[in-house]
Structure formats: structure tokens, C-alpha cells
Structure 1
Amino acid sequence: MSYQFSSIVRATAVDTDRRTSDRDEVHYRARAFGPDAQPQTLLIVNISPHGLMARCEHPFAEGDRLRVMLPVAGAVPAEIRWALGGRIGVSFDHAVDLASYYELLAQMLKAG
């Protein structure tokens, strides 16, 4: 019986955080273009090669598509995975390659 319980707990813990990599803390203002193609300002607070979390005033919704303008990487197509209280979690369509990511991160940290 305890085996079944521990399996359920393990499965739940895995399901709660599906990130594929750790995030780097930043404080970087970026432009994004949403479904209406209007420019929006994002304050990126953490980022990884696979996505980011940002604060924004625009009421984006889960599933909205974005193009996020990032240093080095340019316009990165992405999907909003969650939106809550002025914050959004964004998943990039394709991971930023590591060499570009480290250069991008260096520029973000220098600017912030």
C-alpha cells in the first residue's frame, strides 16, 4: 500500500514542474508582439534556452502566440503557457542554441 502512495507522490512531483532546464535570473526589458501584432513591453525576470517568465501589463492568455525580441536571438516565436496576475510563462518554439544563449544572457545582464 505504501508503494502505491509513494508512486503517486513521485508522479505528482514530476508533473508540477515540467521545465527542462534551470532559469537564469535577469531584469531585462524586451519588446514582444502578440496575436494582435501590437508591440508590448515585457520585463523578463528569468530565462532559459527554452523559455522565460516576464511581467507585463497586457492581459495575455494561456495559448497566445508571441514573438519576443531578444538580443542575439532576434524575434523568437513562442507560446504563453500560463498567465497569472501580470506575469506570464513563455515557452519558445525552438530552444535557443547554447552559444547564442550565453551571449544573449551576457547582454541582458550587462543591460540590467
Structure 2
Amino acid sequence: MSSRFILDGAMIPRSEKRTIDERDEPRYAASSSTAVMEFRGRKHVIRLINVSKSGAMVIFPHTPNIGERLTLQLLDRGMVTAQVRWVKDGRIGLSFLTPME
């Protein structure tokens, strides 16, 4: 179930970039520059920025809700279900429901 609130990064202004990376695992440049994502019943070709075992960052022109579930077809990893964690400036942070090996 997705949230009925839309958080798009504009709500919390940030004057400085983060100086500490608090992520638990490394992010890797995507082995393919594109993937196919199903969003509200339609399939879209999206740009991949990076991928880790537990998620990905993508460029997508639409604004999903935080918590919304999406299906992502990755060239080298197959079909994965992901949940939207954040949205900002046309980029979306996705968390995979099942971490990949």
C-alpha cells in the first residue's frame, strides 16, 4: 500500500550536500543504462543510475508516492519488486523487497 502523501524533496530544502555516506553497502554503476519499470499499470523505459543488492536509483519523469510498489525488469538480474523510498529532482530511490545475491 502506498502513502497518500507525496514527498518530492522540495518539501525539505537543503543548502548543503551530505558529507557522510551512511549506506550499508556499496552502489555500483548499472551494467545496463536502462531498465523497464511498471508504474500504475504501464511499462516505461527508465535510466538506471546505480544498483546495489538492496536497491537502485533511477531517473523517471513521473512522481510516484513514497511507499508505492513498482516492478523493475533489470537486464542482468531479471524481474524485481521494489518500493519507492525517496523522490527528488526526477530521481527515485528504490528498495528491493527481496535483496539480490
The two structures have a TM-score, normalised by structure 1, of 0.65
| Paired position in structure 2 for 1:95 | 99
- Which residue of the other structure, out of 25, 28, 32, is the alignment partner of 2:37? 32
How many Å separate the matches in 2 of 1:80 and 1:41?
Answer: 17
Is 2:71 aligned against 1:70?
Answer: no
How many Å separate the matches in 2 of 1:20 and 1:68?
Answer: 22
8 Å Cα contact 1:40-1:58 kept in structure 2: no
* Number of corresponding residues: 82
How many Å separate the matches in 2 of 1:73 and 1:24?
Answer: 14
Q: CA deviation at 1:51?
A: 0.4
Q: Percent identity?
A: 28
| 1:48-70 residue CA offsets vs partner (Å, 9 max, x unmatched) | 11101011112222111111001
| Paired position in structure 2 for 1:46 | 50
The amino acid of 2:99's aligned partner reads A
Match of 1:40, SS state, is strand
| 1:53-94 residue CA offsets vs partner (Å, 9 max, x unmatched) | 011112222111111001243210010100111000000001
Q: Which consecutive aligned stretches of 4+ in structure 1 deviate over 4 angstroms post-superposition?
A: none
| Paired position in structure 1 for 2:9 | none
How many Å separate the matches in 1 of 2:38 and 2:52?
Answer: 20
| 1:24-49 residue CA offsets vs partner (Å, 9 max, x unmatched) | 12361111012x22112221111111
> Any unmatched runs of 5+ in structure 1?
1-12, 98-112
- Which residue of the other structure, out of 61, 66, 69, is the alignment partner of 2:65? 61
The two structures have a TM-score, normalised by structure 2, of 0.71
How many Å separate the matches in 2 of 1:20 and 1:95?
Answer: 13
Larger radius of gyration: 1
The amino acid of 1:52's aligned partner reads A
User: Could you say which structure has the greater relative contact order, defined with CA pairs below 8 angstroms and 6 or more residues apart?
Assistant: 2
RMSD over aligned Cα atoms:
2.0
